[in-house]
C-alpha cells in the first residue's frame, strides 16, 4: 500500500477512450454490479434450492399417503411449482437489497455521478434483476420437474407443455416470481433503507396478505383478492386450486391473467412513484 506509481497519469499517453453513457452500457454496468456481490449468488441459490427441495419433497410426501385417503386431484404442474411461495421470499430479499444496498453503503452517489439522469439506472437495475430471477426460476422449475418425476407414475401425474394450463403454470410461476421481485425492488427504491424495505416486503407477503385472506371482515375480504401476491399468484394455480379457493367466496374472482395484471399494476404504480422520488430526492 505504500508504493505508488511515480509517474503521474496523463504523461505522454493517449487519452482514454470514453464513450457516451447509454442505456445498454448502464445495463451492462448493472450486470457487473449484480454479479460481483456474493449476496446475489447466495439469495438466488437459496431461492432455487427452496423451490426445488419443496417441489420434490411435496411430490415424494404425497406418494407416501395411503391410497384410501381422499386427496385433491392436483395437476403435475402444481406439484412441480409448489416451492414458489418460499422461493419468492429469497428473490424478494434480493430485489430489495439490489437498490437499498446502494443507499446504505453510499454506492448510490458513485452510481448517480456516472449516470446523473438517474432514472435509466432504475430501469437498468430492473432489467437485470427481473431477467436474472426469471432465468433462475425457469431453471429451478425445470429441475423440480426432473426431481419429482420418479413419483409421477405412482401419483398418476403428468405435465404436458402442449396443454395450455400446464404451460401457463410452468412458465407463469417464473414470471410471477420475477414480477414479485420487481415489486420488492420498487418498494426498496421507495424506502431506500434495507431493514425498512425487507420489513415491508416480508410483512406484506407473510402477514398482511395472509391476514386479509383469513379475517372475515367485509372490507378486508373485498380488498384481499387485489393484494399483489394474492392476485399475481393466481397465474400459478390450476383450475382445481382456484375453484377450491373461490368456493363460498362472494368477492371478486380473478382469472389467472387478470390476477397477474393486478400484480403488474402494483409494480407499475410503485415504480412510477419510486421514479418520481428518485429524481426529486437528494442522493
Partner 1 sequence: MIEATGLTKRYGDKTAVDGVSFTVRPGMVTGFLGPNGAGKSTTMRMIVGLDRPTAGHVTVNGKPYAEHRAPLGEVGTLLEAKAVHTGRSAYNHLLALATTHGIGRKRVDDVIEMTGLQAVAKKRVGGFSLGMGQRLGIAAAMLGDPRTLILDEPVNGLDPEGVLWVRNLLRHLASEGRTVFLSSHLMSEMALTADHIIVIGRGRIIADAPVGDILAGAQTTTVRVRTPQADALTHALRTQGATITALEQDLLEVTGSSAPAIGEAAAATGVVLHELTPMHGSLEDAYMQLTAEEVEYHSTPVPQPGAPGRPGAVPSTAPNDTPTEGALR
Chain positions contacting partner 1, by CB under 8 A: 1-5, 8-11, 15-21, 25-26, 28-30, 32-33, 36-39, 101-102, 105-110, 112-117, 280, 282-283
62 Cβ contact list (under 8 Å, min separation 6): 71, 79, 151, 155
Identity of the residue, 23 or 257, whose beta carbon is nearer to partner 1 in the bound complex? 23
Identity of the residue, 22 or 243, whose beta carbon is nearer to partner 1 in the bound complex? 22
Identity of the residue, 17 or 64, whose beta carbon is nearer to partner 1 in the bound complex? 17
Identity of the residue, 100 or 148, whose beta carbon is nearer to partner 1 in the bound complex? 100
Least separation in angstroms between residue 277's CB and partner 1 is 12
Least separation in angstroms between residue 39's CB and partner 1 is 6
Least separation in angstroms between residue 89's CB and partner 1 is 21
Identity of the residue, 148 or 194, whose beta carbon is nearer to partner 1 in the bound complex? 194
Least separation in angstroms between residue 100's CB and partner 1 is 11
Least separation in angstroms between residue 33's CB and partner 1 is 5
Secondary structure string (H, E, C) spanning 67-120: CCCCCCCCCHHHHHCCCHHHHHHHHHHHHHHHHHHHHHHCHHHHHHHHCCCCHH
Identity of the residue, 119 or 206, whose beta carbon is nearer to partner 1 in the bound complex? 119
Amino acid at each position: 500500500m505504500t508504493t505508488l506509481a511515480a509517474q503521474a497519469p496523463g504523461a505522454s499517453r493517449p487519452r482514454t477512450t470514453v464513450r457516451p453513457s447509454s442505456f445498454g452500457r448502464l445495463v451492462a454496468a448493472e450486470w457487473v454490479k449484480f454479479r460481483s456481490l456474493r449476496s446475489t449468488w447466495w439469495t438466488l441459490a437459496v431461492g432455487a434450492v427452496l423451490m426445488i427441495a419443496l417441489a420434490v419433497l411435496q411430490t415424494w410426501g404425497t406418494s407416501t399417503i395411503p391410497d384410501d385417503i381422499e386427496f385433491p386431484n392436483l395437476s403435475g404442474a402444481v406439484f412441480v411449482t409448489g416451492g414458489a411461495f418460499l422461493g419468492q421470499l429469497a428473490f424478494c430479499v434480493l430485489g430489495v437489497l439490489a437498490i437499498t444496498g446502494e443507499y446504505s453503503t453510499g454506492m448510490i452517489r458513485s452510481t448517480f455521478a456516472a449516470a446523473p439522469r438517474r432514472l435509466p439506472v432504475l430501469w437498468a437495475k430492473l432489467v437485470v434483476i427481473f431477467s436474472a430471477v426469471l432465468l433462475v426460476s425457469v431453471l429451478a422449475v425445470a429441475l423440480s420437474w426432473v426431481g419429482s418425476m420418479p413419483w409421477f407414475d405412482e401419483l398418476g401425474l403428468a405435465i404436458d407443455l402442449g396443454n395450455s394450463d400446464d404451460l401457463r403454470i410452468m412458465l407463469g410461476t417464473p414470471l410471477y416470481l420475477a414480477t414479485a421481485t420487481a415489486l420488492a425492488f420498487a418498494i426498496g427504491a421507495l424506502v431506500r433503507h434495507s431493514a425498512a424495505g425487507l420489513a415491508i416486503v416480508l410483512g406484506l407477503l407473510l402477514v398482511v396478505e395472509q391476514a386479509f385472506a383469513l379475517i372475515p371482515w367485509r372490507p378486508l375480504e373485498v380488498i384481499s383478492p387485489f393484494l399483489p401476491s394474492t392476485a399475481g399468484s393466481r397465474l400459478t394455480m390450476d383450475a382445481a386450486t382456484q375453484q377450491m379457493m373461490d368456493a363460498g367466496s362472494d368477492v371478486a374472482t380473478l382469472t389467472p391473467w387478470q390476477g397477474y395484471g393486478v400484480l403488474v399494476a402494483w409494480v407499475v404504480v410503485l415504480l412510477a412513484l419510486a421514479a418520481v422520488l428518485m429524481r426529486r430526492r437528494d442522493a
